[in-house]
Amino acid sequence: MPTIHPRCKADRKEVYIDSSGFIFPCCWLGNEPDRADYFAFHGVELENLNLNNDLLSKILVSDAFLKIERSWTSVNPFSGCLNFCSKPIHPLAQEGQKEKQGTNDMFVNRFNKNVAKETL
């Protein structure tokens, strides 16, 4: 069984948001050819991964978003993850990304507050 070393969880802890509002675990999956595979992988759940339909905080813990993560421990991980995250992450790369996390958390909180205000 292939091993996935997810950079979206380990060193970046970021997401990619495209111009249509779709959320991807990373920028690699948000671009072709993996974008089309990501859309096909999610099928009817795809609309649950769009900021036009829900808050970012809810999307990040949704079954639809976590479907990719669950694939990592299967015999057939999502192809984009297999392509980009099948090699272990170098420890120095992880260290350089830790200071970014506080900024990302602040962005997510501010974004969700602004969206919540707009929906009232």
Residue 79 or 42, more confident: 42
Taking the complete model, does pTM exceed 0.85, yes or no? no
Query: What ranges do the domains of the chain cover?
Result: 7-90+97-119
Residue 119: per-residue pLDDT: 59
* Of residues 73 and 24, more confidently modeled: 24
Tell me if 63 sits within 8 A of 45, measured CB to CB.
yes
Q: What is the largest CA-CA distance in the chain?
A: 47
* Side-chain half-sphere CA neighbours of 105 within 13 A: 5
Q: What percent of the chain has pLDDT over 70?
A: 66
Q: Which of 22-26, 27-31, 77-81 has the highest mean pLDDT?
A: 22-26
Cα angle: 97, vertex 74, 1; to 5 degrees: 90
CA-CA distance, 111 to 73, in Å (whole number)?
A: 31
pLDDT: which is higher, 11 or 27: 27
Q: What is the pLDDT of residue 39?
A: 92
Per 3-state DSSP, what percentage of the chain is helix, strand, and coil (rounded to 5)? 55, 5, 40
Render pLDDT for 2-21 as a digit per residue (tens, 0 to 9). Answer: 777 677 776 556 889 999 99
Give yes or no for a contact between 29 and 80, defined as CB atoms under 8 angstroms apart.
Answer: yes
Mean pLDDT of 51-78: 88
89 near 14, Cβ under 8 Å? Answer: no
